[in-house]
């Protein structure tokens, strides 16, 4: 039971980091790459984005990779919550 909660917490952290990164990208505009907080969120969310980008075709747009990564993390988070309820 502990490992389910730990994995769910990590997935939740990644999902919230992706949401915060998207919000900060809207606020900072083109200068978002210079923002240290945005860079921290990019560092945290790069492993799941790279993993999903590896599974997709090479010419998949970045916005689609980011959106699908967020959707995959959300579905994983919900799945872990459901599995925790029945376990």
Other CB atoms within 10 Å distance of the CB of residue 69: 22
Sign of CA dihedral 67, 69, 73, 75: positive
Place of tokens 């990164």: 21
Q: Given this model, what pLDDT does residue 1 score? A: 83
What's the confidence (pLDDT) of residue 11? Answer: 97
Give the per-residue pLDDT at 34: 93
Each of the 87 residues of the chain gets a pLDDT tens digit; together they read 899 999 999 999 999 999 999 999 999 999 999 999 999 999 999 999 999 999 999 999 999 999 999 999 999 999 999 998 887
């Amino acid at each position: 039971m502990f490992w389910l909660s730990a994995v769910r917490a990590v997935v939740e952290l990644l999902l919230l980091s992706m949401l915060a990164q998207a919000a900060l990208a809207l606020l900072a505009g083109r200068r978002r790459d210079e923002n240290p907080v945005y860079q921290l969120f990019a560092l945290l969310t790069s492993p799941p984005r790279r993993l999903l980008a590896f599974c997709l075709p090479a010419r998949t747009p970045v916005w689609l990779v980011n959106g699908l990564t967020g959707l995959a993390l959300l579905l994983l988070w919900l799945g872990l919550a459901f599995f925790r309820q029945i376990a």
